Amino acid sequence: MYGERRQRIWDLAVIGIVVVYILLPMIVLVEYAFAQKWYAYQLFPSEWGFKWFSWVFKHADTRMAFFYSYTLAPLVMLTTLGLSIPAGYVLGTKRTRLSIFTENLVNMNMALPVIVIGIGLLPLYTRLGLLGNYWALIPAHMIGAIPYTLRSVTAAFMQVPRDLEEAARVLGATRLQVIRKVYIPMTWRGILAGGIFAFSWSLNEFILTLLLGAPAVKTLPIAIYEYVGGYYLTPQPAAALSLFILIPSIVIALFFEKYLQVSLGLGGG
Amino acid sequence: MPRILLKDIVKRYGKVIAADIPYLEIKDGEFFGLLGPSGSGKTTTLRIIAGLTKPDKGRVYIGDEDITDVPPEKRNLGMVFQSWALFPHLTVFENIAFGLRLRKLSEEEIRKRVKWAAELLQISELLDRYPHQLSGGQQQRVAVARAIVLYPRALLFDEPLSNLDAKLREQVRFELRRLQKELKITSVYVTHDQAEAFAICDRIAVINKGKIQQIGTPEEIYNRPETVFVAEFIGITRFIKGRVEDIVDESKGIIRVLTEDGLELYSWANLEKVKKGSKVFVAVRPDFISLVSKELKEKNVFKAKVELATYEGDVMDYEIRIGQWRLRFKTPPMYRFQPGQEIYVKLHEDKLIAIKE
């Protein structure tokens, strides 16, 4: 009995440490974002409110950062999907040596430090005169997003048995109809997951945007960084802004857990 | 219903010849079997008919129409795949209606046709289910319904029963045959299972290494195999090797064969191919052998030694040895011989098949 109880305490302690470790930065972030009055001797702020939110929105720079981030992310999502869907179809349905080589190459890209990619792109963008160009950030963001998106889309296509395509053909479907009536209904979850990967990648992207876009184009992560990493330290507006990256990320994470994974399990059969 | 005709078909994968068929005609309304071991090219042949594989050479006709360059979706054929290939995201109803919807039929017509096919296959109560909720036998029926609902010009079956358990497989064989006779659809059936081909098909082509070895009715294939491959592939066959000493009966095709170890054997042979002096393989199957009570001074009666005895419930399965030749032999289970025991057997001369080496 005694041993069991002790074991339980241990379990709770270990889990507790993990939970606190994960949640602590977020708790601090929320505190900072909403704290209007908070003296150094207080554990919690004495006055809460939206002061810092209105404060950040007064800055034209910050408003532009919102615009850049929230337009770039969907654009990167669409372009990444536009490339990944046909590529994923080929890689997923035709398992040739070239396919597997390409897949390995793309997967390797995931392990590459983004700064390395950025340093590779910097002279190229300089030469082409694309530094600070909003549109040129789309292909830059795609480089980081494609491995994740393509992986998800390829896996979705791989799960569609080849027989189904042939059965549909014999039943009278053209190649195009096969894609519409067989592949899309059977792979949309993987495609959606891949799109969301691209979206959140772009939203979180910092290094490439800093190297290739700033100072002309500043996205949210850069705006946040400037509040804390520049000449002056203002954690409260940075925290308030951070929520605009944090909240979409949490929504996406919940969406994956609750919806996509469960559905993938059911729909696969 | 039209015939199917293959002319000068060649299909290679690298150096391997997957199909080499100078001429094959599947008659109007016939249930035709393509029988062969795995990798023999039977599925390749079927896929060439379906349009899923393009032959390197040769033409494919349905009726008088040359369909060689027609894509699969324009051929109007029905096909049942080994995996059944049901669409997992669609209900049974929508699976069956898939081809009808592509043909832009009215909703009413679609309902009518799906109902007809579902009743024929006895799956009317399953129409709202999804494939993963069905048993293998039910999935197989849905696959057949999906194929026939289009009133196809021909039906193609690619080992559709190989994923069913043995009992169900036997039952479905008869149902498929009845269905095909009822609908009178020219059908091609690919299988590696001889019993299945025999039960279902009117005529069978035995295929090996891409080439047709023999075409005939099940009886012709079983009783009169023309090549050693066919004789060995069909049934439980053992061979006795020897030389033709003389032709005993020209009209019945009976020859006398002498083996190296001095066995004298009378056998049937196709005298167009087998001549005096030919080296032959004499095919012996369990049902060519019967038990005799004692040593008779008759031709084709031999003393045999039981080597192995296996009880299989309805039969006893023996391996017996005559001279140096090991044969398989079956009896009703009331006869029980032990390994080592000596028995007398008669090989029926009109059943034995001597095939030129």
B216: β partners: B204
Q: What is the DSSP letter of B279?
A: E
> Is there a contact between B79 and A167 if contact means CB atoms under 8 Å apart?
yes
Q: Which residue of B has its CA nearest to A161?
A: B85
Q: Which residue of B has its CA nearest to A173?
A: B73
Whether residue A34 contacts residue A45, with contact meaning beta carbons closer than 8 Å, is answered with: yes
B208: β partners: B211
Smallest Cβ distance to A171: which of B52, B82, B98? B98
Give the three-class secondary structure for A234.
coil
Find how far residue B248's CA is from the centre of its chain.
33
- Please tell me the predicted confidence (pLDDT) of residue A265: 39
Mean predicted lDDT score pLDDT of chain B: 93
* H-helix or E-strand spanning residue B20: strand B16-26
Lowest mean pLDDT among A117-131, A230-244, B326-340: A230-244
CA dist B178 to A139, A161, B142, Å?
A: 62, 31, 17
pLDDT in tens, B22-45: 999 999 999 999 999 998 999 999
What confidence tier does A262 reach under pLDDT thresholds 50, 70, 90? very low
Give the three-class secondary structure for B294.
coil
Query: Tokens standing for A72?
Result: 């770039």
**Mind telling me how many Å the CA of B214 is from chain A's nearest CA?**
29
What confidence tier does A230 reach under pLDDT thresholds 50, 70, 90? low
User: Any chain A CB within 8 A of the CB of B77?
Assistant: yes
Cβ-based neighbour number of residue A84 at 10 Å: 28
Residue A146: pLDDT above 50?
A: yes
Smallest Cβ distance to B73: which of A161, A174, A267? A174
Choosing among A162, A164, A166, A170, which should be mutated to test the B contact, i.e. which has the most B CBs within 10 A? A170
Give the three-class secondary structure for B108.
helix
- Please tell me the predicted confidence (pLDDT) of residue B319: 95
Smallest Cβ distance to A170: which of B50, B131, B132? B50
User: Any chain B CB within 8 A of the CB of A180?
Assistant: no
Cα separation of B161 and B195, whole Å?
Answer: 12
Cα separation of B132 and B34, whole Å?
Answer: 30
Find how far residue B286's CA is from the centre of its chain.
19
pLDDT in tens, B228-284: 999 999 999 999 999 999 999 999 999 999 999 989 999 999 999 998 989 999 999
List CB contacts (< 8 A) between A185 and chain B: 89
Of residues A56, A228, A78, A88, the one with CA closest to residue A152: A88
Residue A261: pLDDT above 60?
A: no
Query: Tokens standing for B1?
Result: 């219903």
List CB contacts (< 8 A) between B83 and chain A: 161, 163
Whether residue B59 contacts residue B66, with contact meaning beta carbons closer than 8 Å, is answered with: yes
Give the three-class secondary structure for A47.
strand
> Is there a contact between A169 and B52 if contact means CB atoms under 8 Å apart?
yes
- Please tell me the predicted confidence (pLDDT) of residue A263: 43
- Please tell me the predicted confidence (pLDDT) of residue B343: 93
**Mind telling me how many Å the CA of B85 is from chain A's nearest CA?**
5
User: Any chain A CB within 8 A of the CB of B76?
Assistant: yes
pLDDT in tens, B131-143: 999 999 999 999 9
What confidence tier does A28 reach under pLDDT thresholds 50, 70, 90? confident
Length of chain B: 357
Whether residue B263 contacts residue B322, with contact meaning beta carbons closer than 8 Å, is answered with: yes
List CB contacts (< 8 A) between B89 and chain A: 185-186, 267
* H-helix or E-strand spanning residue B173: helix B166-183
What confidence tier does B78 reach under pLDDT thresholds 50, 70, 90? very high
Of residues A250, A177, A227, the one with CA closest to residue A33: A227
Which parts of chain A fold into alpha helices (H)? 2-34, 51-57, 60-93, 97-111, 114-128, 137-158, 162-170, 175-178, 184-204, 207-212, 220-229, 235-255, 261-267
CA dist B123 to B83, B103, B146, B341, Å?
A: 18, 23, 12, 55
Cα separation of A33 and A50, whole Å?
Answer: 8
Q: What is the DSSP letter of B27?
A: P
Cα separation of B143 and A170, whole Å?
Answer: 12
> Is there a contact between A170 and B103 if contact means CB atoms under 8 Å apart?
no
B266: β partners: B256
Cα separation of B209 and B20, whole Å?
Answer: 9
Sign of the CA dihedral running B145, B148, B150, B151: negative
pLDDT in tens, B296-352: 778 899 999 999 999 999 999 999 999 999 999 999 988 889 999 999 999 999 999
**Mind telling me how many Å the CA of A155 is from chain B's nearest CA?**
17
**Mind telling me how many Å the CA of A147 is from chain B's nearest CA?**
27
Q: Which residue of B has its CA nearest to A163?
A: B85
Lowest mean pLDDT among A26-40, A154-168, B213-227: A26-40
Residue A229: pLDDT above 80?
A: no
Q: Which residue of A has its CA nearest to B132?
A: A269
Cα separation of B4 and A53, whole Å?
Answer: 76
Mean pLDDT calculated for residue range A107-135 = 90
Cα separation of B237 and B231, whole Å?
Answer: 7
Residue B99: pLDDT above 50?
A: yes
Sign of the CA dihedral running B113, B100, B159, B140: negative
Residue A1: pLDDT above 70?
A: no
**Mind telling me how many Å the CA of B314 is from chain A's nearest CA?**
40
Of residues A233 and B16, more confidence is placed in B16
> Is there a contact between B73 and A172 if contact means CB atoms under 8 Å apart?
yes
> Is there a contact between A173 and B102 if contact means CB atoms under 8 Å apart?
yes
Smallest Cβ distance to A172: which of B87, B103, B130? B103
Residue A17: pLDDT above 60?
A: yes
Mean pLDDT calculated for residue range B162-190 = 91
Q: What is the ipTM of this complex?
A: 0.86
Q: Which residue of B has its CA nearest to A264?
A: B89
Strand order through the sheet with B65-66: B16-26, B4-13, B57-62, B65-66
Cα separation of B262 and B276, whole Å?
Answer: 17
Of residues B19, B142, B168, B172, the one with CA closest to residue B81: B142
Residue A11: pLDDT above 80?
A: yes
pTM of the model: 0.79
User: Any chain A CB within 8 A of the CB of B296?
Assistant: no
pLDDT in tens, B296-307: 778 899 999 999
Hey, which residues 96-135 in chain B have their CB within 8 Å of chain A?
98-99, 102-103, 130-132
Cα separation of A119 and A106, whole Å?
Answer: 19
Cα separation of B335 and B347, whole Å?
Answer: 18
User: Any chain B CB within 8 A of the CB of A265?
Assistant: no
Sign of the CA dihedral running B112, B118, B123, B129: negative
Length of chain A: 269
Residue A256: pLDDT above 80?
A: no
What confidence tier does A241 reach under pLDDT thresholds 50, 70, 90? confident
Q: Which residue of B has its CA nearest to A267?
A: B89
Whether residue A187 contacts residue A81, with contact meaning beta carbons closer than 8 Å, is answered with: no
List CB contacts (< 8 A) between B103 and chain A: 172
Cβ-based neighbour number of residue B233 at 10 Å: 22
User: Any chain B CB within 8 A of the CB of A115?
Assistant: no
Smallest Cβ distance to A177: which of B82, B102, B146? B102
Of residues B31, B63, B80, B1, the one with CA closest to residue B187: B31
Whether residue A217 contacts residue A138, with contact meaning beta carbons closer than 8 Å, is answered with: no
pLDDT in tens, A39-90: 777 777 878 888 888 888 888 888 888 899 999 999 999 999 999 999 998 8
Cβ neighbours of residue B164 closer than 8 Å, sequence gap 6 or more: B136, B137, B140, B172
Cα separation of B341 and B143, whole Å?
Answer: 52
Cα separation of B265 and B240, whole Å?
Answer: 9
